[in-house]
Amino acid sequence: MSLATEESKKSVGEPTLLSLTWNSLSGKKLIGGISIPSILLVAVAIYLAMNFEMYFIDPRMRREGIVFGSTNLATWLVLFLWLFAIQIARQATLQRALEGRYEDALRLNRWFSWAPGFGETLRFWILLEAGRYGDLLAATKPRAFDRNGIPKLPNRKLYYHAMALSHQGQGERAQELLESASRLAPQIVPEIGFIQVGLADCLLEQNRDPEQARSLLSYTLGKWPEQIDPNRRKADLALRKCRHAWALARCARRDKAIWEMWHASEDSDGFLDRDRAWLRYYAGEMSLALGDTQEALAAFEEANALHPHGQLGMRAKERLSKVCQSIGGL
């Protein structure tokens, strides 16, 4: 489960922002699961079919048709470039947050909060990523609950609120909220995947009911709302597998846990430092659950070295401190 050598890491080229953006845009699904470029191509094909005579048969209509068609083509091109520009801005925001540049990410999110794909949800994710739990609680409370304090279920904002509570030491309250949401949310709602992962995290953090945590995480391995950005899907799945390995370890299923962790980490050389750091963090949690203290210490140290930022850095440092104290007390 060790990471690749420094030489192999350097040999892996980082994707450019332009390539990330094009993949994001071409993979963005709209109504019926159709991508944006597909919609543009279909629209052009329909237009040409409807005006076949104008363009290809009647020469008297050709000049007028070319002018009219050029105007329409320019309109479509402007629309496409607008969508492309918005996606560039969104990708730049995500990239800054993933690199630990949270203030820059929040600033960009404020600038483009009017555009589709920006706004509150992305802001909540950045605040969670940054470990700014107090700000996250304040931002989500009026949106996750009604005026009487009743949770709005199911609700992605409730997930972020519960995660902030859990990481501030209020695991029981977070668990209560997520369990209510999990019972009431229909299985087809995308938010259910996040709610189940959040509930599993709460259970594992509190060392409660590891079998339920394992069951929840096992479900999300097969059914999960796809990431818009295809470059994030592989890392996202790997991190869910690592959580599953942690749950398996808590259930005393040592061999299965180690195999799952290895399987999640085997193709991680090209991941961002942040994602590889989370892999090592969960490897540390798994090792602790299996009683392998020295391996846990090494994993937490590597996680902190890879990405000493935000909530990941905070959690890795906290675990390092506890492991060192436990070793010192032996």
Q: What is the mean pLDDT of residues 66-70?
A: 57
DSSP code per residue over 19-74:
HHHHHHHHH-B-GGG-BHHHHHHHHHHHHHHHTHHHHHT-HHHHHHHHHHHHHHHH
| CATH code, residues 131-221 | 1.25.40
| Confidence band, pLDDT 50/70/90 cuts, at residue 18 | very low
In the prediction, which pLDDT does 190 show? 59
Residue with tokens 């479900």: 219
Kindly state the tokens that stand for 284. Answer: 């540390």
pLDDT of residue 151: 82
Identify the residue whose tokens are 């607008």: 82
Spell out the residues 6+ positions from residue 76 whose beta carbon is closer than 8 angstroms to its own.
Answer: 40, 43, 44
C-alpha to C-alpha distance for 252 and 236, rounded to whole angstroms:
25
Distance, CA of 92 to CA of 90 (rounded, Å) = 5
Q: What is the DSSP string of 65-121?
A: HHHHHHHHHHHHHHHHHHHHHHHHHHHHHHHHHHTT-HHHHHHHHHHTTTSTT-SHH
Give the pLDDT confidence of 58-67 residue by residue, as tens digits. 555 555 555 5
Residue linked to tokens 């398996």: 248
- The CATH number corresponding to 226-330 among 1.20.120, 1.10.4030, 1.25.40, 1.10.150 equals 1.25.40
Contact criterion met (CB below 8 Å) for 302 and 3: yes
Question: Is a pLDDT exceeding 80 seen at residue 201?
Answer: yes
How many C-beta atoms surround the C-beta of residue 305 within 10 A? 13
- DSSP E strands in 162-276: the ranges are none
Residues of CATH 1.25.40 domain(s) within the chain? Answer: 131-221, 226-330
Type of residue at 56 = F
pLDDT in tens, 209-228: 999 999 999 888 876 655 55
Q: Would you say the C-alpha torsion 131, 106, 277, 263 has a positive or negative sign?
A: positive
Question: 224 versus 167: which is more confidently predicted?
Answer: 167
Residue 260 is predicted with a pLDDT of: 95
Q: pLDDT band for 270, please (50, 70, 90 cuts).
A: confident
Output the pTM of the full model. 0.76
φ, ψ of residue 107 to 5 degrees: the values are -65, -45
User: Which of 214, 143, 147, 212 lies closest to 183 in space, CA to CA?
Assistant: 212
**Measured distance CA(57)–CA(8) in Å, rounded:** 60
